[in-house]
Amino acid sequence: MSEWLAFFFSVSTGFVAAGLTGSIYRIATRKPPSFQVWSESTFGQFMGVLTLIFAGPNVILRNALRAQVFENRPPVWLVLSAFIAMVWSFLSGVFLLSFLISV
């Protein structure tokens, strides 16, 4: 497999994992995932951080698009946010794929 194909496969795996994790979090809590952990219990905070590890790219892109539309930020912020989300998705995709291959 070529390096670029492996890279895009890993990025897409990370984006899918972010979307699924964010959607499951939204269904369970009836609010979108964010970088603010609101739970008072230790278990709730742990689960919030664990959710954000995989839903982070989803949160970054949602916040960047909202800032672009509502706050009229420069397009370079959207591009930089997309790059950060892509790198985060790549890393979580590599983790998930290596975990699935080892099982």
Residues 6+ apart with CB under 8 A from 73: 67
What are the pLDDT digits (tens) for 19-68? 999 999 899 888 888 888 777 788 888 888 888 999 999 999 999 999 99
86-98 residues labelled b (16+ CB within 10 A) or e (exposed): bebbbbbbbbbee
DSSP 8-state code for residue 8:
H
- Per-residue pLDDT at 1 exceeds 80: no
Confidence of residue 100 (pLDDT cuts 50, 70, 90): very high
Instruction: Give this prediction's pTM.
Output: 0.87
Q: What is the pLDDT of residue 35?
A: 84
Residue 95's Cβ-side half-sphere holds a number of Cα atoms within 13 Å equal to: 12
Long-range CB contacts (< 8 A, 24+ apart) of 65-74? none
Confidence of residue 77 (pLDDT cuts 50, 70, 90): very high
Mean of pLDDT over the chain: 91
